[in-house]
Amino acid sequence: MTTRHKRRYTEEEYLAMEEASEFKHEFVDGQIYPWGHPDMIGMYDVQAMSGTSLPHNTVTSNVTFLLGNGLRGRGCRVFGSDMRVYIPLTGTYLYPDSLVVCGKPEIRQEGKMDLLTNHILIVEVLSDSTADYDRSGKFMRYRSIESVQDYLLIDSRSLRAELYSRTATGQWTLTEFLRMSDVIALPGLDTTLTMQELYEDVVL
């Protein structure tokens, strides 16, 4: 049996494809993946991701809305999943579910695409197909961005949130939230989110 070798793509090839595509793709380790499906293969084998679940969409909408309200008037901007993140250390391009930039957004422009580089908070909403990758590969890449202070994972399948926060010495601490009464303090933004509000209208 012959083993199929995946072709490796350059950043330039990925960016040219993404600019012309009507669907979103991520770029990791020379491979191009449909957004939301890190285990798919190669540019010519992929299809756009199918719609996410109702709980996933509801949690994503809730967190983006709550962050926008909580940071209003403080010089911070909240973006949804259409804003691409560039990770210089690994040459990776990803689409978080939500992210926050405070102060002037630092943008790297590639053609018609804007790539944010100075995020403070990155949020991923966990689903069956992405949970392991969000906790491992994505976190490894996100934490290489010096500006990132908090990485928040919110489960769309059960009542659970995980907050990774960067300490003054550069270490990362993990805090878990498992109850509706829990309050999530985001040190990098000096604001809070409540589990009750994050899971409002979510049927688990």
Flag whether 4 is in a domain. no
- CATH number of the domain at 143, please: 3.90.1570.10
Flag whether 37 is in a domain. no
Q: What pLDDT shows up at residue 46?
A: 37
Strand ordering across the sheet containing 92-94: 31-34, 25-28, 92-94, 84-87, 113-116, 107-110
Q: What pLDDT shows up at residue 19?
A: 82
Domain with 159 in it: 54-198
Burial class of residue 187, CB neighbours in 10 A (0-12, 13-18, 19+): middle
Angle at 143 between CA 138 and CA 146, to 5 degrees: 140
Q: Scanning the structure block, which residue is given the tokens 């209208």? A: 201
Flag whether 97 is in a domain. yes
Structure confidence by residue, pLDDT tens digits, 71-127: 999 999 999 988 888 888 888 889 899 999 999 888 777 666 677 788 899 999 998
Instruction: Provide the domain count of the chain.
Output: 1
Angle at 163 between CA 161 and CA 165, to 5 degrees: 175
Flag whether 42 is in a domain. no
Flag whether 21 is in a domain. no
Flag whether 28 is in a domain. no
Question: At residue 103, what is the residue type?
Answer: G
pLDDT band at 29 (very low <50, low <70, confident <90, very high): confident
Percent of the chain with pLDDT over 90: 52
